[in-house]
Amino acid sequence: MDNPQLHPLEVNPKTGEPFLRLLSHKNIIITPTRLDDGPARIPHLNDERIYRWLHSPPHPYLPEHAEWWVNHAKQTEDKWFAELKAARDDPTPKIVDFCPVGSIREVLEDGTEVFIGSIVIHLAQQPWELEGTGRLKQETPRRDAGDPDIWTFGDWLAPSHHGRGIMSDAIQTVMQKWAIPRMGVRRIVVTAIEGNAGSVRVFEKNGFAFRKTIADVLNVRGTMRSVHVVEWRLEDEAKMVV
Ligand SMILES: CC(C)(COP(=O)(O)OP(=O)(O)OC[C@H]1O[C@@H](n2cnc3c(N)ncnc32)[C@H](O)[C@@H]1OP(=O)(O)O)[C@@H](O)C(=O)NCCC(=O)NCCS
């Protein structure tokens, strides 16, 4: 019997691997991390078109960085899937604190799956992301309906695939299919390094509003960089629908 706790993830019938298929780009899926993903990450995260807009991966990005990341992500996701498995007898999908899939892959015509990027959603931690909430940090979701937790996205895509609407679709897919219904996400604040117009546009296309630019606030590999902050609230979307 299918595990109702995986809903609305699909399950690959051959491998048993759960995945989300993008809403519009049907040949793109988001899966768990695979232990052999490391080598594919290295050229992308050493590509200036990607790393200049990211503040957390080390540069240069070495095989040991990729190996550490893949092992860490896999262990974390395995725990999440174990939690979903343990609840499989409950027919009502429970609200969880995580999205268990984050590796973006293109499915080629011959069925080969090529790793092309990453999308993660987690609790926001930067002070400007938490501004106005009275919170200094967020370790676990509080799930207080009157005072929503602040979530944030981190994402990147292989330059060979830029400009085709893939990340806009991936953000929409994760929000609509998992973050809102399965994580109870109601507010998201995202930080983009100043000048990252493509990323700001991706979020604006998904209903985010530009909040502000803050000067020289983020330490990116030893240089203080300015950032753009964009914000999404479920209640604003509900108002738009009405
Ligand atoms: C940001 C990123 C994820 C976007 O992925 P993508 O799949 O190419 O994005 P999409 O094709 O869905 O949308 C990009 C939008 O930005 C626009 N855009 C791209 N570069 C732009 C620029 N320099 N100035 C203005 N708009 C730009 C595109 O025209 C498109 O908007 P449109 O659909 O209205 O034409 C990708 O460029 C990337 O990986 N960048 C490096 C890492 C990064 O910046 N991560 C985000 C950190 S906050």
| Residue 142 CB–ligand 1 contact under 6 Å | no
Q: Is 200 in the pocket of ligand 1 (CB under 6 A)?
A: no
| Coil, strand or helix at 212 | strand
Cβ atoms of 96 and 183 within 8 Å: the answer is: yes
Ligand 1 proximity of 202 Cβ (cutoff 6 Å): yes
pLDDT attached to residue 78: 98
Find out whether the beta carbon of 157 lies less than 6 Å from any atom of ligand 1. Answer: yes
- The pLDDT score that the predictor gives to residue 1 is 66
Q: Rounded distance, CA 34 to CA 113, Å?
A: 11
pLDDT at 237: 82
Please give the distance of CA 163 from its chain centroid, rounded to a whole number. 18
Q: Token pair of 141, please?
A: 């979701």
* Cα 166 to averaged position of ligand 1 atoms, centre (Å): 9
Torsion angles phi and psi, residue 165, rounded to 5: 80, 10
Span from the CA of 145 to the centroid of ligand 1 (angstroms): 33
Q: Which pLDDT score, from 0 to 100, does residue 238 have?
A: 72
Q: Are the CB atoms for 213 and 192 separated by under 8 Å?
A: no
Our count of domains for the chain comes to 1
- The structure tokens 């052999």 sit at 36
d(CA 200, CA 228): 8
**Best of 48, 156, 160, 175 to mutate for ligand 1, by most ligand atoms within 8 A of CB?**
156
Expressed in angstroms and rounded, the spacing between residue 140 Cα and the centre of ligand 1 is 30
- The tokens for 46 are 């050493």
Q: What is the pLDDT of residue 47?
A: 98
Please give the order of strands across the beta sheet that includes 18-21.
10-11, 18-21, 28-31, 103-107, 113-123, 151-157, 187-193, 223-233, 209-220
215 is in which domain, residue-wise?
4-241
Query: Residue 86: which CATH number?
Result: 3.40.630.30
Residues of the chain with pLDDT under 70: 1, 239-242
Q: Which atom of ligand 1 is nearest to the CA of 167?
A: 7
166-173 and 197-205 are packed helices; what angle lies between their axes, rounded to 10 degrees? 50
162 in ligand 1 pocket by Cβ < 6 Å? yes
Atom 31 (ligand 1) nearest CA: 201
CB atoms within 10 A of CB 103: 24
Residues in CB range of 48: below 8 A, 6 or more apart: none
Answer whether 158 contacts ligand 1 (Cβ < 6 A): no
| Distance, CA of 169 to CA of 171 (rounded, Å) | 6
pLDDT of residue 241: 53
CB 48 less than 6 A from any atom of ligand 1: no
